[in-house]
Amino acid sequence: MEMNKLIDHTLLKPDASIEAIKKLCEEAREYQFASVCVNPCFVPLAAEMLKGSGVKVCTVIGFPLGATLPEVKKYEAEKAVEAGAEEIDMVLNVSMAKEHDYDYIEKEVKLVKEGCHGRLLKVILETCLLTDDEIVECSKASVRGNADYVKTSTGFSKGGATVHAVELMRKAVGPNIGVKASGGVHNRAEAEAMVKAGASRIGASCGVQIVKE
């Protein structure tokens, strides 16, 4: 298993320094990770550093709460793409998910997908806040909204990825949509367990450690 090709090498801390982002990009280039995932303000730097490397630049939208207006999320996505982002990880509106307003979720995802202008869109469900049924229905609504991936977690709430959530999401979206396990994946064994459960991408801040094991 080429684990490096499944990893989004991630640094989303609010106090991340420019030097730390540079190191992240250097590591991503060296280990040939799938992408780096950084906050929007660092997209231009990451895009410049990773030009020609084959490593994608991913950023986050509506992060970490998902409570901003859909139109604002679309604008965020558009600006991120203009700055060089090739993948967009958006947080869905968790409040609307808890209200079971899946039409809202679908329309919001569809709007942000328009803002991606053909770039890959991953929808973060924040599974630790949802019931099993809500995970399934949010996954299905995201697919109806033209998401390319569903993703477990921001890493900023009360829990991260679980094998159970990944299994639910994979079953809900079928074989042709990506599933990203993110938040709390610390080592090779945990990453492999997520892949076995159906994950096709791993979001992790310790990607180097995972591939070295």
Nearest alpha-carbon partner for 153 in 180, 172, 121, 113? 180
Whether residue 89 lies in the annotated active site: yes
Whether residue 180 lies in the annotated active site: yes
SS (H, E, C) 85-150: CCEEEEECCHHHHHCCCHHHHHHHHHHHHHHHCCCEEEEECCHHHCCHHHHHHHHHHHHHCCCCEE
Contact between 189 and 211 under an 8 Å Cβ cutoff? The reply is no
End-to-end Cα separation, the chain, in angstroms = 13
Active-site residue (options: 8, 89, 110, 148) = 89
Which residue numbers are catalytic? 89, 151, 180
